[in-house]
Structure 1
Amino acid sequence: MTETPNRTLAAAGAVLIYACVIAFTDNYVRVIAADGGLWQFHATRTAMAVVLLALLAVPLGLRLRPRRFGAVFARSAIHGAAMLIYFGALAFLPVAQVAAGLFTAPIFVLLIQRLAYGQSISLLQVLAVAVGFVGVVMVLGPEAMSGATFAALLPVIAGALYAMGNIATRQWCAGESAETLVAGFFGMLGVLGLIGMAVLWLMPVAVPEGAEGFLQRGAVWPTGSFLWWTFVQAAGSLLGVGMIIKAYQIADASKVSVFEYIILPASAAWGFFLWGETLSWLAVAGMALIALAGILIARQSPTASRQ
């Protein structure tokens, strides 16, 4: 099979667009969480995204039908699970902290490529994994050291799944169009959202007020704020996810995953401008260590995949 060429500069530009858009829209998940639930959010966002894709399909000549349904379905399921965890954590953790956990992905990319595809790991890359782990602990802060670890570790779990999905994008879905993978991604989240609402309808649970009830809240009558910011999420995610998928299709996963670190300062900057949030120096230092780990991993990775 012909090897997919790497277009690293174009991938970097696509990631920059993705990071700036997603960092902004994700800061408003807390607003969505105050009025609605995680499951209704995903179902509603998918419905809006499907309408937008349908409107754009003909004028832009989009190809939405997958070439390999099984590969697209499997990738969508992995990325869908990662994003369920990610958006759930956004309701009660700062965006920059959640993003830092998610972007442990290069560490997991390295480990998965070694275990699943036989790619060698250098001593420097082993050191990078250790540095990245220290950075994660620093970013997670007191929660990770006081015993209340599960909530703080959710973004890291999402990072592991995200890494698997990113590798799948290139290894399993290289021949698919970006819009096909975007449609599969949103479709899977929509199905998961409907399942979640059905389960909570059949087995209702006590729901805390406001954002604290984001995970437990089933279907409710949507407010204007919920609908508007969910629409902003749908439109922004279509653009952002399309850009990141394209980046992973045209460049090696270990390279693209490092470019994604731009979302860390972007998330922190939007958090400051929108909400006045500031990060502790410990968290900033931890983010820098995670980024350093990703850069060390990328510098030691092969320039092209040999699979």
Structure 2
Amino acid sequence: MTVSVMAPDRTLMAVGLTLIYAAMVGFSDNYVQAVAGTTGLWQFHATRSCLALLMMGLVAPFLGLRLRPRNVKAVAARALLQGIAIMIYFGALAFMPVAVAAAGLFTAPIFVLLISRLVYGERIGPVRLVAVAMGFLGVVLVLGPRALAGAGLIGLVPALAGAVYAMANIATRRWCAEESASTLLAGFFVSLGLLGLAGLTVLAIWPQAVPEGSDGFLLRGAVWPDGEYLSWMLLHASFSAIGVGLCTRAYLLADAGRVSVVEYMVLPTSALWGWAIWGERLGALAWIGIVLIILAGTIIALRARDQER
């Protein structure tokens, strides 16, 4: 596989794009529960991917988007890593609380630094180490320390998702620096769509007993979509396509370790949207965690500005 020459680092712009991504994805993800009671995970990803790819195909000629990859193998490998990470995370939800799974997934920045140091020999400064530690502590406080108690070996499953997600983040800049954000975004949705279709095929061949409501989200096979479902999926696909596209662009612009720390903002924005939409309230520890997450992102941004002067 050919390794691309990395473009100049533009961390401040990457931070801004990642913050917009966090706000958009935090909003759309809060509406997953609106369809979780009537559809399944696999159909959700297959439908969302099809709609997102259709929208990208329609607007590509007018916006000048390049969807064809320059390096097919690199884009496919990166898309597969990202798709597998997301599926491992959602799969973990079948046998553990969401809080435990989310905490495992958000170990990705730590894995980014470890991989960058051990595999690529990059120097890790004390500021980045402190920022990552601060961000992860904030995640624990937002989710609640009790949520992590007793995770044990099962907790390694979402941590595996975090490790794979970290590899995808590193691959974005190291393997795919010459690719456009739209190309990588299309690859991401193709990967998730194919994984969703694979899951639907398996459930069609080996159907499972499906619990009622949202409890059956992971085991539910294909169901006939109605207008309300398609409306929710169109909203989710639109926000996901734009938001993930911005985040992908951010990983092309700046070091993966820095961007991944700012990506912690998905948690507080999700919590804020949950309060605004569903009336869910956070405790004092959770708000302290949000402050730590914001502080971690601010440290990275200010440090980057000093280095770019």
With normalisation by structure 1, the TM-score equals 0.85
Q: Distance in 2 between matches of 1:153 and 1:291?
A: 26
How far, CA to CA, are the matches of 1:149 and 1:279 in structure 2?
28
- What's the counterpart of residue 241 of structure 2? 238
SS in 2 for 1:259: helix
Aligned counterpart in structure 1 of residue 51 of structure 2, from 37, 48, 51: 48
1:170-185 matches, within 5 Å, as 170-185=173-188
Contact kept, 8 Å, 1:38 with 1:88, in 2: the verdict is no
State the alpha-carbon separation in 2 of the partners of residues 132 and 247 from structure 1. Answer: 19
Aligned equivalents of 1:15, 1:99: Cα separation in 2: 18
Written as runs of structure 1 = structure 2, the 5 A alignment for 1:63-74 is 63-74=66-77
Q: For 1:273, which of 272, 276, 284 is the aligned residue?
A: 276
SS in 2 for 1:64: coil
**Matched-pair contact (CA < 8 Å) for 1:14–1:244:** yes
Q: What's 2:171 paired with?
A: 168
Question: Residue 150 of structure 2 is aligned with which of 133, 136, 146?
Answer: 146
| Aligned amino acid, residue 65 of structure 2 | L
Q: Taking structure 1 as reference, are residues 20 and 97 closer, same or farther at Cα in structure 2, changes over 3 Å only?
A: farther
Q: Which amino acid aligns with 2:9?
A: N
Residue identity opposite 2:261 in structure 1: V
Quickly say closer, same or farther: Cα 1:2–1:84, change in 2 above 3 A. Answer: closer
Post-superposition shift, 1:239?
Answer: 0.3
Q: Report the secondary structure of 1:35's partner residue.
A: coil
Match 2:24 to one of 8, 21, 24: 21
> Aligned match of 1:107 in 74, 97, 110?
110
Question: How many equivalent pairs are there?
Answer: 302
**Deviation (angstroms), 1:287:** 5.3
Mean alpha-carbon deviation: is it higher for 77-86 or for 117-126? Answer: 117-126
What residue in structure 2 maps to residue 254 of structure 1? 257
Structure 2 vs 1, CA of residues 53 and 24 (structure 1 numbering), >3 Å: closer, same or farther?
A: same
Q: Does the aligned pair in 2 maintain the 1:88–1:214 contact within 8 Å? A: no
Q: Is the 8 A contact 2:46 2:194 kept in 1?
A: yes
Which deviates more from structure 2 when the two are superposed, residues 42-51 or residues 82-91? Answer: 82-91
- Listed as ranges, the gaps of 5+ residues in structure 1 are none
User: CA 1:135–1:23 in 2, change beyond 3 Å: closer, same or farther?
Assistant: closer
Alignment of 1:60-99 (within 5 A): 60-87=63-90
Deviation per CA, 1:271-291: give whole Å up to 9, x if none: 111111123434444555566
1:57 aligns with 2:60: yes
Q: Which residue of 2 aligns with 1:7?
A: 10
Q: Could you tell me how far 1:3 is from its partner in structure 2?
A: 4.4
CA distance in 1, matches of 2:131, 2:204: 46
- 1:236 CA drift (Å): 0.7
Equivalent pairs: percent with the same residue?
54
Structure-1 residue corresponding to 2:219: 216
CA contact (8 A) 1:79 1:162 kept: yes
Q: Distance in 1 between matches of 2:127 and 2:193?
A: 41
Q: 1:291 to 1:27 in 2, by over 3 A?
A: same
- Find the aligned partners of 2:114 and 2:139 in 1 and give their Cα distance: 16
RMSD, matched Cα: 3.2
- Judged with a 3 Å threshold, the aligned counterparts in structure 2 of structure 1 residues 257 and 143 are, in CA distance, closer, same or farther, namely closer
Q: Secondary structure at the match of 2:81?
A: helix
Are 2:144 and 2:285, in contact at CA under 8 Å, matched by a contact in 1?
no
